[in-house]
Amino acid sequence: MSTRLTVAILILLAPFTLWAQGIHFYSSLDNNNSPNLHLLQNDYLTSQELIHGCRHLLLDIDATGYFFDAEYATPMAKGYSVAGFRLSPTLSFGINERAQLRVGFDATSFAGLDSLYNLRPTFSLVYMPTKWLQLVAGTLFGGYRHQLSAPVYDPSRWIYHPQEEGLQIITTRPWKSDTWLDWHHYLTPYTPDQEQFTLGTRHSLSLFHMEDTIINDLSLMPDDYFLIRAFDIDFPIHFIADHRGGEVKTIDTNTVTTFNERIGLQFNYKRRNFQKNWTKISLDIPVYFYHLEDTKLDHGGKALYPTISYEFKHLDNNNRSGYSIQATAGFWHGNHYFSAHGLPAFWSINNYSSQHMPLSAANTAADIRNILTFTFSAEHEFKGLNLGLQVDTYYDIDLKKTDFLFGFYMRFRDRFILL
């Protein structure tokens, strides 16, 4: 194992070291400032769900129909259009109040294909020794649930790479984190084959939190009529390592490991009125880094991506119905930046990244990218049925071209107690 990977693993263990030393951080605000569609996330299990499902056999139904269209004008990637349907039923058995066994399958169908695009079984064992720690082995809570931004996680991976397998460690408080190992390809021993995996971690440290609660009328129930104002300053850390290598080396199977990091500050102001209307304004100032383990292949790069977003959310009294609207604007300045799993619209064209691009990008001078971005999303949830719409635009100031992405989906989720 390389020195960089060894250091990376030590970094992943940092939150548990801090916990042992008694350092506590907590924030009641949602730290997800990613403009991705929130309702496509696969939620983690909670301690209440494990207790209620103890010694019961449950059936979870998850079905999503969608249409996504990417119209790329810049040469970094080819556009795509896909209309599809994804079905992911899961049988779960509560082993005890802290553990659950989950078995199911994930099937993806694309309109226009004569067969399924993807059909894979799902197996996972979830163990929650404490309320703040969750361990997952097998099929992970991946995709949007990692809460990564587009420069390090392309939203289209939810379509074309819907399943992640490996190990996952989740902490909820006082340190919010998600650490996972997604193993893409098993290395067959004694062959010029390659193992492929992604090692990732996301952490959020609350630097400052202030909350104000006002009861409008003492004769009324506080849960029904109150006003909350909250302000947070968070310090998020993201680390992604994409590894490809093997024991038997050939000219086509060299070991390649790419690294991406993200650090910065997030400022969140959140307000709720007595009608259960939430307003949230966020300012995100992150810095992204890119480098390869083998510096002979390519040197490192970096990027700055400040964004400001506004979100309005309304929840009905049952908390299962409501809608949200979000708009995010930003400016991307990338210098020799590349991410193995990131959105190609943010890539710089350099010696290594050009190997992952269409041939048309070879004659384009775009090692430094300056891009204006704007995202609008609207989502509606009605008793288990979710509807979502998202529009992304990326205007390259230097190339004077615009990348456009559009997405729509319908998702149904429900849980049934069989035994």
Kindly state whether residue 2 falls inside one of the protein's structural domains: no
Name the pLDDT band for 135 (thresholds 50, 70, 90): very high
Q: Tell me, what's the pLDDT at 265?
A: 95
Kindly state whether residue 5 falls inside one of the protein's structural domains: no
Share above pLDDT 70 across residues of the chain, in percent, rounded to a whole number: 83
pTM of the model: 0.84
| Euclidean distance between CA atoms 73 and 79, whole angstroms | 8
- Could you read off the pLDDT of 294-348 as tens digits, one per residue? 777 788 899 999 999 999 988 776 666 888 999 999 999 999 999 989 999 999 9
Q: Tell me, what's the pLDDT at 25?
A: 24
Q: Where are the alpha helices (DSSP H) in 196-278?
A: none
| Euclidean distance between CA atoms 241 and 292, whole angstroms | 9
Kindly state whether residue 272 falls inside one of the protein's structural domains: yes
Residue 216 structural domain? 24-417
Integer angstrom CA distances of residue 173 from 48, 237, 246, 362: 16, 16, 38, 47
Name the pLDDT band for 227 (thresholds 50, 70, 90): low
Integer angstrom CA distances of residue 219 from 215, 225, 383: 9, 10, 31
Q: Is the model's pLDDT at 30 over the cut of 80? A: no
Q: In this structure, what token pair is assigned to residue 330?
A: 């930003």
Q: Tell me, what's the pLDDT at 94?
A: 95
Q: Report the range of poorest mean pLDDT among 215-224, 306-315, 390-399.
A: 215-224
Q: Tell me, what's the pLDDT at 226?
A: 56
| Euclidean distance between CA atoms 144 and 190, whole angstroms | 36
Kindly state whether residue 151 falls inside one of the protein's structural domains: yes
Kindly state whether residue 328 falls inside one of the protein's structural domains: yes
The whole-chain average pLDDT of the chain stands at 83
Name the pLDDT band for 1 (thresholds 50, 70, 90): very low
β-bridge mates for residue 402, sequence order = 395
Kindly state whether residue 4 falls inside one of the protein's structural domains: no
Q: Tell me, what's the pLDDT at 63?
A: 95
Kindly state whether residue 334 falls inside one of the protein's structural domains: yes
Kindly state whether residue 379 falls inside one of the protein's structural domains: yes
Mean pLDDT value across residues 160-186? 90
Q: Where are the alpha helices (DSSP H) in 130-271?
A: 157-160
| Euclidean distance between CA atoms 120 and 111, whole angstroms | 19
Look-up: residue for tokens 């390649």?
256
Mean pLDDT value across residues 42-62? 88
Q: Report the range of poorest mean pLDDT among 15-29, 125-139, 277-291, 357-371.
A: 15-29
> Which amino acid belongs to residue 397?
I
Q: Report the range of poorest mean pLDDT among 33-42, 120-129, 306-315, 390-399.
A: 33-42
Secondary structure E strands in 336-384: 368-382
Q: Is the model's pLDDT at 26 over the cut of 80? A: no
Q: Is the model's pLDDT at 31 over the cut of 50? A: no
Q: Tell me, what's the pLDDT at 276?
A: 74
Q: Is the model's pLDDT at 274 over the cut of 80? A: no
Identify the three-state secondary structure at position 50: helix
Q: In this structure, what token pair is assigned to residue 412?
A: 């149904």
The CATH number assigned to the domain holding 267 equals 2.40.160
Q: Tell me, what's the pLDDT at 247?
A: 64
Number of folded domains that form the chain: 1
| Euclidean distance between CA atoms 141 and 24, whole angstroms | 25
Q: Is the model's pLDDT at 389 over the cut of 80? A: yes
Cis bond upstream, residue 75 (ω within 30): no
Share above pLDDT 90 across residues of the chain, in percent, rounded to a whole number: 53
Q: Is the model's pLDDT at 93 over the cut of 80? A: yes
Q: Considering only CA atoms, which of 377, 376, 342 is closest in space to residue 357?
A: 342
DSSP count for the chain of H helices, then E strands: 4, 18
Q: In this structure, what token pair is assigned to residue 297?
A: 């292949």
Q: Could you write out the DSSP letters of every residue in 32-51?
A: ----S-GGG--PPP-HHHHH
Q: Tell me, what's the pLDDT at 317?
A: 64
